[in-house]
Amino acid sequence: MNPMTRIARLSAAFLASNLTRGAIAFVLSLIVGRALGVERFGRWVLCTTWASTLTIAVDFGFGLLLPRDGARADSRIGELCGTALVARLAAAVPAAIVLAVAASRVSVDAETIAGLRVAALLGVAGATYGCFGGAFRSQPRWVPTVLILETGWAAAQMAASWVVLFGSPARSGIVAVLTIATMAQIGQLLSVMVVWRTAFPGERVRVPSRTAVKHTCARALPFAASGIVANLQTRVAPLLLGYLSTQSELGAFAAAARFGTTARLAPGAIFAGALPVLSREHTDDPVAGSQAFASFHRAMVALAALTAVPCVVLGPLLLRAIYGTRFVGAAPALMVIGIGLLPALTNSAKKIFLYATGDERFVLQWSTVSLVIQVISGIVFMPRYGSVGAAAAIAIGEAVIWWPLADRARRTAPRSNPHHAPASTLAPVAPVVGDVPDPAAAR
């Protein structure tokens, strides 16, 4: 099976899973909202937000490192997963204890306080499952199985919540719903642990030496930093706009940006499927890996164009149909967002390839440059142009780094050879300097 076929199959699996679980999450929110009412629904959202924040905060870059390095033939996935578990739990458990103890300071409501304490456990369970989920996402053969398990447990959580909220005479509340979510997460964890023996025969989840742990965590840090930068890139525009312009402009930008977020669903699934495939191809045969990236990049350019065109051409119609006539004024911002999708999505494709080749530090460097340019552009344009200025700032930030990423990918791909493939995650610390090929030396 050629790489593009594998990427297509994995991408389809991720997209189907994301859409299905998104629908389940939406129905779950309807169930909780109708059963608990507006005020208690807000409390539930607060608790689940704290749980997800805890899980994300202790990711430490392993969400990308595990799928990339686990795809390599010499990955020693059991030790890699064990290292991620130790690093995450070392931070997640104390953070959960702090959240549980400080819950009374977050809220004075007794139900919310109890809910936050359950949410702390839910956050730890999510961080733990993420280690195993990341390992399985590195194996194209097992990705559909894991996604089916995740979707099945999400559906079970939704059904159990409906029974508890509407089927029991006691009409349970937030704590019961959060407890069900925690049990579903634990069930999901136990399920993949059972499958582990079949998927990774002979690979036990264990912690390697202290030196290997330090080395692995050091390799994960650029991914962790990239995650922080990426989150800032999505939040800077609305935050600056709220400060530099009016609430009406912020509302217009939020409506337009929602279409941009939706447009990224399919590309996001493709990127998730591409990373392990490109990593394995580059490790086994860098020339074949570069050819696979060339095909992948052409496909992403075409997809970016197809994604951008509706936003640019049909902006007013889309806003009128979804949000109503009062939001038609956001059409110019949506058009600029559509234009910005072209460099944004193609940049993301290059970043995935550079991640696969071990060049994540370069990606972090230029992602940070993009963030700085976005902030400067926003300060310049938002006071005068409002939502359009916010959209333009994002597009400018992506456009400026398009050439550096393209040039790096071009120079890395054709000159790759087995000696320049990224070192194994658990290799000794000394060779780290030579892990990433020097583009200047490759000229």
Of residues 423 and 301, the one with the higher pLDDT is 301
* pLDDT given for residue 168 in this prediction: 63
pLDDT band, residue 156 (cuts 50/70/90): very high
Tokens coding 420: 């320049």
Burial class (CB in 10 A: 0-12, 13-18, 19+), 259: buried
pLDDT band, residue 258 (cuts 50/70/90): confident
Burial class (CB in 10 A: 0-12, 13-18, 19+), 310: middle
- Average pLDDT over all residues of the chain: 86
Q: Which residue has the tokens 């790096």?
A: 408
Whether residue 64 contacts residue 355, with contact meaning beta carbons closer than 8 Å, is answered with yes
**pTM assigned to the model:** 0.79
Q: Where are the domains of the chain?
A: 3-208, 221-418
Overall average pLDDT of the 76-103 stretch: 92
* pLDDT given for residue 170 in this prediction: 54
pLDDT band, residue 41 (cuts 50/70/90): confident
Q: Which residue has the tokens 């389940």?
A: 24
* pLDDT given for residue 422 in this prediction: 45
Among 127, 66, 47, 52, CA closest to 92: 127
Taking the CB of residue 42, how many other CB atoms lie within 10 A of it? 13
**C-alpha dist (Å) from residue 382 to 255, 390, 393:** 16, 6, 8
Among 228, 225, 249, CA closest to 378: 249
Whether residue 416 contacts residue 286, with contact meaning beta carbons closer than 8 Å, is answered with yes
pLDDT digits (tens, 9 = 90+) for 73-86: 777 888 889 999 99
d(CA 222, CA 25): 31
Among 248, 261, 395, 265, CA closest to 330: 248
CA angle 398, 400, 404 (to 5 degrees): 100
* pLDDT given for residue 75 in this prediction: 74
Packing angle between helix 174-199 and helix 3-57, nearest 10 degrees? 140
pLDDT digits (tens, 9 = 90+) for 388-438: 999 999 999 999 999 999 999 988 865 444 444 444 444 333 333 333 333
Does the pLDDT at position 42 exceed 90? no
pLDDT band, residue 101 (cuts 50/70/90): very high
Among 403, 273, 390, CA closest to 346: 403
* pLDDT given for residue 1 in this prediction: 67
Does the pLDDT at position 338 exceed 90? yes
Of residues 423 and 288, the one with the higher pLDDT is 288
pLDDT band, residue 229 (cuts 50/70/90): very high
